[in-house]
Chains A and B, each alone.
Chain A
């Protein structure tokens, strides 16, 4: 069992490296942070943001993860716009607001984080306090166990 697991991780290492490189490069290209290398020259002090190029890399990243069936980490996934593949940087390419649609905001667990992409103007909503639902495979396992307990 352990052998199989070890083999799997070694096999996938290249893909994980590729994914992390693509994300890093996309984040670098879409940010307009100051460039330490070009400080000497007076012409460029900041790297111009290249969101188009970054989007190309992110699309590549997404297709690689789909092709190889590798999950992106939720943190990585949440920095990418689902609809237009832009890198989401708070205040620069997206805005986040907390929304509570319950009556008079009575239910604190109904808080929803709404992140709006500035490129495509589309929103994604993440529940804040609500407990996260388990993965489907885990849910299925649990229901199987319960069924077995009922039967036995």
Chain B
């Protein structure tokens, strides 16, 4: 019945259709039929790559354990690395930090402490204010005026100060003017009474224009602006 050389499908089709129709259907539906491969079956190459990837991941993990990275900011916060316990916030301790800060100012400003001016202002803008003894002299928020103390934290938008009464206050820089004075080094040797008790240099700091992180200020060039709120 079946020819040896004729495919089974074709002979079956020829029973139902004519010659032309059989040929057409056979070529279109059988010979040129698309075979879809299963998407879930991975090729050997993919498997090898996956093995390699897991091995690399493991190696990376091991390297991380052997050579740890510095803590990220989030980890630092979580661990409480910067926390100062309430009981240890003592003004007396920070008074000594303030002494160190004054020494730093003397070293930084040198003779400009007597004259002030642009150069001194530029130096002060790039200085560090941790340990400075500041007072709020003007502020859009009236109740903030008069707060005075030593800066214990200098963040982008606020100073945290500790007052004489061991209170920690967060003073936003926005629309606030701070004042601090740097007295020149006392010279006990000189007989001149004016020199032994010299006039301090009084600096006003416009917080509005000082809203930068302390490290960013080191390279920043400040320009003179008019404060709008004053």
Contacts and interface: CB of A to CB of B under 8 A. Distances in A.
B96 A37 contact: yes
A142 interface: no
Contact of B100 (A18, A28, A86, A122): A28
Contact of B108 (A14, A86, A122): A14
Contact of B218 (A25, A47, A64, A84): A64
> Shortest 10 CB-CB distances between A and B: which pairs?
A63-B215, A21-B104, A52-B84, A52-B83, A48-B88, A83-B70, A64-B215, A56-B82, A52-B82, A17-B108
Classify chain B's interface size: 35 or more
Contacts of B68: 83, 122
B172 interface: no
B130 interface: yes
A120 B79 CA distance: 10
Interface in A14-67: 14-15, 17-18, 21-22, 24-25, 28-29, 35, 37-38, 44, 47-48, 50, 52-53, 55-57, 59-60, 63-64, 66-67
A52 B69 CA distance: 20
A67 B215 contact: yes
B138 to A, nearest CB: 27
A24 B83 CA distance: 20
A84 B81 contact: yes
Contacts of A14: 108, 123, 126-127
Contacts of A53: 82, 84, 152
Given A29-B97, A47-B96, A83-B68, A60 B130 contact: yes
A21 B219 contact: no
Given A63-B213, A64-B128, 16 more contacts: A17-B107, A21-B103, A25-B101, A38-B92, A47-B92, A47-B93, A50-B88, A52-B83, A52-B84, A53-B152, A56-B153, A60-B215, A66-B215, A67-B218, A83-B68, A122-B68
A50 B83 CA distance: 9
A87 to B, nearest CB: 12
Given A53-B84, A82-B70, A25 B123 contact: no
16 contacts: A18-B104, A25-B101, A25-B130, A37-B96, A52-B83, A55-B82, A56-B82, A60-B128, A63-B215, A64-B215, A64-B218, A67-B218, A82-B70, A84-B70, A85-B70, A119-B81
Contacts of B175: none
Given A25-B131, A67-B219, A48 B90 contact: yes
Nearest to A56: B82
Nearest to A13: B108
B214 to A, nearest CB: 6
Contacts of B59: none
A73 interface: no
Given A17-B108, A67-B215, A67-B216, A50 B128 contact: no
Nearest to B97: A25
Nearest to A21: B104
A150 interface: no
A99 to B, nearest CB: 15
B81 A21 contact: no
Given A82-B70, A83-B71, A85-B81, A50 B93 contact: yes
Interface string B146-177: 00000011000000000000000000000000
